[in-house]
């Protein structure tokens, strides 16, 4: 099966409707660009969302790539400028957070992930009629995350994973979908190059998560079939993993009002907004 067929099957399994409007979180990298390209090609209603992280020429190249692809695909692009909205670049925010007590134990990518998710959910709500946010997470990312959760004894964290995250019927929480959940990174890169998509292939200059790098070095030695097997195990175990989830439902952060599992959301804990 080629990438397109696999993605079609994945989306069929989560019963994504062509009437749904999907907001693709576009970083300018190959994965999320392929998501936008394929969703549009498969006939879904698509709009793009890009966060300008304000990280010098790297961010400029990402912004230009996203603009160009949206132009080619004829889709609307929503932009969020982190420097304008939050006063500083992602690098600055991350550094400031890491000098805080609350952020000390967190690696760069984890902090960046919390901030991006918070922005995406909040901004997607402001756009009329968005049913889901699609990200570019692929088979390699997901098998690494599952292995990390196993190795760190944090399996309950995997209860929030899957092709579609929307266990909580909450009007403030926009469902997140990962159309490339079962597609290997090498196949995505090959496809993106074959289609000549305008994409920034270099890694984020900020990426620093030594444990994930270690696990990635290991998963890079695996065959695609072996990575698929890891996720087949995830799928088999998923109903049981879900039972490990904390019994407490979703509530709203006392500071920012966003959906949260605790009284103060992860973002506000990191930002120490008091
Ligand atoms: P990362 O955490 O950088 O591996 O990114 C995971 C996913 O988040 C990507 O596949 C994109 O869908 C989305 N994403 C990452 N960076 C951005 C960005 N600057 N703007 C919009 N979406 C992003
Ligand atoms: Zn909050």
**Around Cβ 196, how many Cβ atoms within 10 Å?**
8
Q: In the chain, what percentage of residues exceed pLDDT 70?
A: 95
Q: Is 135 in the pocket of ligand 1 (CB under 6 A)?
A: yes
Q: Is 209 in the pocket of ligand 1 (CB under 6 A)?
A: no
* Overall average pLDDT of the 132-143 stretch: 97
Query: Ligand 1 test: best mutation among 22, 25, 66, 145, most atoms within 8 Å of CB?
Result: 25
User: CA–CA separation, 125 vs 170, rounded Å?
Assistant: 12
Token pair of 259 as six digits:
């959906």
Q: Is 269 in the pocket of ligand 1 (CB under 6 A)?
A: no
* Overall average pLDDT of the 216-240 stretch: 96
Would you give the DSSP letter of residue 202? S
- Ligand 2 centroid distance, CA of 263 (Å): 8
The pLDDT of residue 116: 96
Contacts of 244 (CB under 8 A, 6+ apart): 155, 156, 159
Q: In the chain, what percentage of residues exceed pLDDT 90?
A: 73
Would you give the DSSP letter of residue 157? G
The pLDDT of residue 138: 98
Residue 105, pLDDT > 90, answer no
**Around Cβ 250, how many Cβ atoms within 10 Å?**
13
Q: What is the pTM of this model?
A: 0.94
Token pair of 111 as six digits:
């902090």
* Overall average pLDDT of the 128-145 stretch: 96
More confident residue, 213 or 47: 47
* Overall average pLDDT of the 124-136 stretch: 95
In this structure, the dihedral spanned by the alpha carbons of residues 235, 240, 241 and 242, taken in order and rounded to 10 degrees, is 100
Indicate the SS3 state at residue 83. Answer: helix
Contacts of 96 (CB under 8 A, 6+ apart): 88
Residue nearest to atom 14 of ligand 1 (CA): 27
Half-sphere exposure of 3 (CA within 13 A, CB side): 24
Q: According to DSSP H, which parts of 42-138 are helical?
A: 56-73, 82-86, 90-98, 108-126
| Terminal-to-terminal C-alpha distance of the chain | 52
């Amino acid at each position: 099966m080629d990438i397109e067929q696999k993605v079609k099957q994945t989306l069929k399994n989560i019963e994504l409707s062509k009437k749904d409007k999907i907001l693709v979180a576009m970083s300018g990298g190959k994965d999320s660009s392929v998501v936008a390209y394929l969703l549009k090609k498969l006939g879904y209603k698509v709009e793009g969302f890009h966060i300008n992280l304000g990280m010098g020429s790297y961010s400029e190249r990402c912004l230009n790539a996203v603009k160009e692809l949206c132009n080619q695909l004829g889709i609307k692009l929503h932009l969020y400028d982190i420097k304008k909205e939050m006063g500083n670049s992602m690098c600055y925010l991350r550094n400031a957070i890491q000098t805080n007590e609350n952020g000390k134990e967190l690696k760069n990518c984890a902090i960046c992930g919390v901030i991006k998710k918070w922005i995406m959910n909040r901004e997607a709500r402001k756009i009329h009629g968005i049913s889901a946010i699609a990200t570019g997470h692929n088979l390699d990312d997901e098998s690494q995350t599952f292995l990390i959760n196993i190795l760190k004894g944090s399996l309950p964290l995997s209860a929030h994973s899957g092709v579609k995250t929307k266990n909580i019927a909450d009007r403030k929480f926009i469902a997140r979908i990962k159309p490339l959940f079962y597609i290997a990174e090498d196949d995505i890169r090959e496809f993106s190059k074959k289609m000549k998509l305008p994409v920034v292939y270099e890694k984020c200059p900020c990426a620093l998560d030594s444990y994930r790098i270690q696990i990635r070095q290991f998963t890079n030695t695996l065959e695609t079939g072996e990575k698929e097997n890891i996720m087949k195990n995830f799928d088999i175990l998923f109903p049981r993993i879900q039972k490990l989830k904390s019994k407490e439902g979703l509530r709203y952060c006392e500071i920012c009002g966003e959906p949260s599992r605790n009284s103060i959301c992860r973002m506000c804990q990191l930002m120490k907004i008091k």
